[in-house]
Amino acid sequence: METAIDVKGMTTYYGEREVLKNLTLSIPRAKTTVIVGGSGCGKTTLLKHLISLLKPAKGTIEVNGKNIAGMFGSDLDEFRKKMGVLFQGAALLNSLTLTENVALPLREHTRLKEPVIDIIVRMKLDLVGLSGFGNFYPSQLSGGMKKRAGIARAMAMDPELLFFDEPSAGLDPVTAAGLDELILKLHKAFSLTLVVVTHELASIFTIADYVIMLDAGNIVFMGNLDELKASSHPKVRVFLERKAEEEFLSPEEYFKIISGS
C-alpha cells in the first residue's frame, strides 16, 4: 500500500489534557480514508494536525515524505497550495460572492488572467452542481449548498489531498447522501487522496476505502470496510451497532462523585 501521509508517535495536549496519545498511522494514496469515532475522541484535532493548523507536541507528520510538523512560513504555504479543506461550517468568506470565494486562492497564488480564472471558477462550480449561483453570497445559500461551494473552493487549486471535516454535520439525510455521492464522484474522477472525518455510519459505508477509528485519543481500529465489519473490538461493535455506552460505577465511586471528593 502506497501511503500519502505517515504519522509517527504523535502526541498532543490541550492545556494539561492529553488529547492524542502517541498515534502512529498511515493514510493510503488515492484512496478515501475515513476517520471515525464518537464526539470528543480527538478526530477533528487529528485532522487539524494533518492540515497543519495545529502542531503536535511530539512526533512527526510526513506528507509525501516531508515532515509538515517541522515546517514553517513559505514552505508550509507551498504545501498548503497542494491541499484543499472543507470545514464543518464550510467557512466561506461571508463578504465575498461564491465566484470570489472560489477565485480567491487562484487570485492569491497564481498570475492567471481574469478570463482564465472565470473559466476555472465556472468549471469548479459546475463540478459541485452550483452552476448559476456564482453571484450569490454565502448567507443566501442553504447548508448543503454552502458545503458544495466549500468543496469547489477546496478544489480550486487542483489539490492532491482533500480533507473534509464532518461533511454531513447539520444536513438532512437526503442532502448528506448527495454530498457523499459528490465525494465519490470526485474520488473517481480525479483519483485524489481523500481524508474524511465523520461519525455518520451511512457515510462510512458509502465512501470509505479505509477506516481509522479513534477512541479517547487512541487508535482502536485501522483497516478496510470488510475488516471493520468483522472486527470484534468492543469499541467498534458499540459504534457500529449504535449502542449507548453505559458506564458502570460501584457504590463507592458513585459516592465519591456526589460527595465531590
Partner 1 sequence: MRPLIIDSVLGAIGKRTISVFKTIHNVSTLLNNIAYWTVVSPLRGKRIRFKATVSEIVKAGYNAIPIVTVIAFFVGIILALQSAYQLRKFGAIIYVANLLGVSITRELGPIITAIIVAGRSGSAFAAEIGSMKASEEVDALVTMGINPIRFLVVPKLLALMLMQPALTAIFDLVGIGGGFFLSISLLEITPHRYYTQTINAILVKDLMTGLVKAWAFGVVITCVGAYHGFQVEAGAEEVGLRTTASVVSSIFLVIFFDFFFTTLFYYFL
Question: What DSSP state is assigned to residue 222?
Answer: E
Q: Which stretch binds partner 1 (CB under 8 A): 18-26, 62-70, 73-81, 224-232?
A: 73-81
Of the candidates 244, 165, 153, the residue with the CA atom closest to the CA atom of residue 200: 165
Q: In the complex with partner 1, which residue's Cβ is closer, 85 or 220?
A: 85
- Cα 88 to its chain centre, rounded Å, is 9
**76 vs 249, beta carbon nearer partner 1:** 76
The smaller minimum CB distance to partner 1, of residues 165 and 215, is found at 165
> Could you say which of 66, 108, 158, 170 contacts partner 1 (CB under 8 A)?
108
Task: State the DSSP H helix or E strand holding residue 80, giving kind and residue range, or none if neither.
Answer: helix 73-81
User: What is the distance of C-alpha 97 from the center of its chain?
Assistant: 24
* 89 contacts partner 1 (rule: CB under 8 A): yes
The amino acid occupying position 242 is: R
Minimum distance between the CB of residue 77 and partner 1, rounded to whole angstroms? Answer: 4
Q: Which three cell numbers stand for residue 156?
A: 480550486
> Min. distance of Cβ 112 from partner 1 in angstroms?
14
Work out which of 104, 177, 184, 240 binds partner 1, going by CB under 8 A: 104
Q: Of the listed pieces 75-83, 120-128, 170-178, 243-251, which binds partner 1 according to CB under 8 A?
A: 75-83
Please provide the DSSP assignment of 34-77 as one string: EEE--TTSSHHHHHHHHTTSS--SEEEEEETTEEGGG--HHHHH
51 binds partner 1, rule: CB under 8 A: yes
Measure the CA–CA gap between 123 and 141, rounded to whole angstroms: 19
Residue closer to partner 1, measured from CB, 193 or 231: 193
SS3 92: coil
Binding mask 123-162 for partner 1 (x = CB under 8 A): ------------------------------x---------
Q: Per rule CB under 8 A, is residue 105 in the interface with partner 1?
A: yes
Cβ closer to partner 1: 138 or 211?
Answer: 138
Among 3, 29, 60, 87, binds partner 1 (CB under 8 A): 87
Question: What are the phi and psi torsion angles at 230 (to 5°)?
Answer: -85, -10
Cα–Cα distances (Å) from 183 to 104, 162, 176, 192, in that order, read: 22, 10, 11, 10
Would you tell me which residues interact with partner 1 (CB under 8 A)? Answer: 51-53, 76-78, 80-81, 83, 85, 87-89, 91-94, 104-105, 108-109, 153
